[in-house]
Amino acid sequence: MNEKALDEITESLLNRKKIKRKQLGDEVDIRVLQSRIIPLLLSPGARDTRFFAGKLLGSAFGKKAADKKGLKEAANIYAKLVADLKFAKPEIIKVSEDETIIRFYESAVASGFENIGMKLDAFEEGFQTGFFSSATGKNYFSVETKCLANGDPYCEFVIRKTTIGEKFAEAFKI
Structurally, the chain folds into a number of domains equal to 1
Q: Residue 87 is part of which domain span?
A: 3-13+49-171
**103 within a domain of the structure (yes/no):** yes
Label residue 153 by pLDDT band (50, 70, 90): very high
**22 within a domain of the structure (yes/no):** no
**71 within a domain of the structure (yes/no):** yes
**34 within a domain of the structure (yes/no):** no
Tell me the pLDDT tens digit for each residue of 7-54. Answer: 776 666 666 666 666 776 767 776 776 766 667 667 777 778 888 888
Please give the residue that has the higher pLDDT: either 48 or 59: 59
* % of residues, the chain, pLDDT over 70: 76
Q: Which CATH number is 109's domain given?
A: 3.30.1380.20
**141 within a domain of the structure (yes/no):** yes
**24 within a domain of the structure (yes/no):** no
**19 within a domain of the structure (yes/no):** no
pLDDT at 122: 87
Please give the residue that has the higher pLDDT: either 130 or 24: 130
Residue 169 has pLDDT above 60, yes or no: no
Helix (H, G, I), strand (E, B) or coil at 2: coil
Q: What is the DSSP string of 94-144?
A: EE-SSEEEEEEES-TTTTT-S--SS---HHHHHHHHHHHHHHHSS-EEEEE
Question: What is the pLDDT averaged over residues 73-85?
Answer: 91
**95 within a domain of the structure (yes/no):** yes
